[in-house]
Structure 1
Amino acid sequence: MTAISALRRTASHALDFWYNTDTAGKIELPGIHGADQIYYIASPWRSLRRALSPADVTSSDVFLDVGCGKGRMVLEAVSSYRFRRCVGVELVPEIYRHAVRNIHNAQRRHRRIRGRVELINQDIRTFAVPDDVSVVFAFNPFRGPVWTAAIDSLIASHDRSPRRIRLVYVNPEEHRELVATGRFRVERELPGTTVYELR
């Protein structure tokens, strides 16, 4: 382990301690995740903060994490921004239950997190993106047809209720497919992360 990776690991544990959560680790569930889905590994803390300034979020914005895992980015969103509410969608029941515990523990420790988080245990392929969502976070959660279904739902939500929607895509493996829709414009590129605007 390099000094940098050790420092990151220490910082990750420190933030979990601060929130009273357990968001780290890697979970492989081949019986549930197919070839077009990814094993669970948490987004690095501050992934959202590096891509989206708190000044760019208002109290009318709504956050959605597709494939929210144990809830790390939902916690970052609710504690660092003025989102009206924060939604996380997770397919795997085991991981979803872990996210629920993490949010519950964090809410007990930090009052500002209360009343602004909704976690949903559902397959993203059948999930209808709410028509008030304005910021979407994805840490390369799906590939292929599963990703296509998630993006189709996001586009459908935009078409029902036209508004500015930003997609923060970490490790953007499906960049070409996203741009090929003709609906997403690259707003900002960072190392390992691309921010898109849905038009």
Structure 2
Amino acid sequence: MKEQDHDRLLRIKTEGIREWQHQTSHYNRYEATPYMALEALFDEYTCTTFDKFVDFGCGKGRFPFYIHHHLHISVTGVEMNGQLYQEAMENLARYTERSKRTRASISFENALAEEYEVEPIENRFYFFNPFSIQIFQKVIRNILLSVENHPRSVDVILYYPTSEYIQFLEQNTAFELLREVKVPVLYDQNSNERFLIFRYE
């Protein structure tokens, strides 16, 4: 199924790449995770309806809408850019018009990732290179602080992972690599075209 067809199925608009007019070294451009990649991830990575995801740097919300629709899992998208947040909310309004009723919730927060307060029930955290390593470190520390206060197993899922993200998790935290999921592509395989899933028990 083509990208635009999948968007149409969910009644959302998430295509395209957006560069920032005032680009900073800490926040990266908007680009949605390809649907083909999401299909590859969830073909191999098992979740339950008791899990709750947070997508840091969710943009227009493709990842949250995908897992809510296909997996019936609760999810919160966190987006610091006001324009992208507004587009995510417009997508949410169209999506909820026809989405099937489910116990799973879907919501969006207009906030800086490093200031987001991790809830005790949140246990799956998704990153598609939304920001610098400095912000990533702060977000991971917030997750670990939440785990310290409310013990639970948590997963961090990286798409197109940077060496800095990987190095930090492996050398500075107790997260351990659980699985690598490679994304099939029609052109020459890019070694970064993959997911890395890290788990903290």
Shifted more, 134-143 versus 39-48: the winner is 39-48
Is residue 11 from structure 1 mapped to residue 2 from structure 2 by the alignment? yes
Structure 1 residue 48: Cα displacement: 3.8
Is residue 120 from structure 1 mapped to residue 109 from structure 2 by the alignment? yes
Task: Determine the C-alpha separation between the residues in 2 that align with 1:55 and 1:179.
Answer: 20
Distance 1:55 1:183, change over 3 A: closer
Task: Determine the C-alpha separation between the residues in 1 that align with 2:181 and 2:49.
Answer: 25
Aligned residues of 1:54 and 1:81 also touching (Cα < 8 A): no
Corresponding residue number in structure 1 for 2:46: 56
Aligned residues of 1:140 and 1:170 also touching (Cα < 8 A): yes
Corresponding residue number in structure 2 for 1:196: 198
Structure 1 residue 39: Cα displacement: 0.4
Distance 1:120 1:134, change over 3 A: same
Q: 1:126-153 CA distances to partner (integer Å, 9 max, x unpaired)?
A: 1111111111111111122111111111
Distance 1:71 1:182, change over 3 A: same
Distance 1:114 1:107, change over 3 A: farther
Task: Determine the C-alpha separation between the residues in 2 that align with 1:124 and 1:183.
Answer: 21
Task: Determine the C-alpha separation between the residues in 1 that align with 2:38 and 2:157.
Answer: 7
Task: Determine the C-alpha separation between the residues in 1 that align with 2:62 and 2:174.
Answer: 28
Aligned residues of 2:68 and 2:104 also touching (Cα < 8 A): no
Corresponding residue number in structure 2 for 1:7: none
Segments of structure 1 that go 5 or more residues without pairing to the other structure are 1-9
**What TM-score comes out, normalization by structure 1 length?**
0.87
Distance 1:12 1:113, change over 3 A: farther
Corresponding residue number in structure 2 for 1:26: 17
Q: 1:98-155 CA distances to partner (integer Å, 9 max, x unpaired)?
A: 0111121111122246871110000112111111111111111112211111111111
**What TM-score comes out, normalization by structure 2 length?**
0.86
Question: What secondary structure does 1:111 align onto?
Answer: coil
Of 131, 151, 157 in structure 1, the residue corresponding to residue 140 of structure 2 is 151
Distance 1:168 1:89, change over 3 A: same
Structure 1 residue 19: Cα displacement: 1.3
Corresponding residue number in structure 2 for 1:176: 167
Task: Determine the C-alpha separation between the residues in 2 that align with 1:89 and 1:150.
Answer: 12
CA RMSD after TM alignment? 2.0
Corresponding residue number in structure 1 for 2:56: 66
What is the aligned-residue identity percentage? Answer: 22
Is residue 99 from structure 1 mapped to residue 88 from structure 2 by the alignment? yes
Shifted more, 55-64 versus 186-195: the winner is 55-64
Segments of structure 2 that go 5 or more residues without pairing to the other structure are 183-193
Task: Determine the C-alpha separation between the residues in 1 that align with 2:173 and 2:18.
Answer: 34
Question: What secondary structure does 2:6 align onto?
Answer: helix
Structure 1 residue 165: Cα displacement: 0.8
Corresponding residue number in structure 1 for 2:156: 167
Question: What secondary structure does 1:18 align onto?
Answer: helix
Corresponding residue number in structure 1 for 2:34: 44
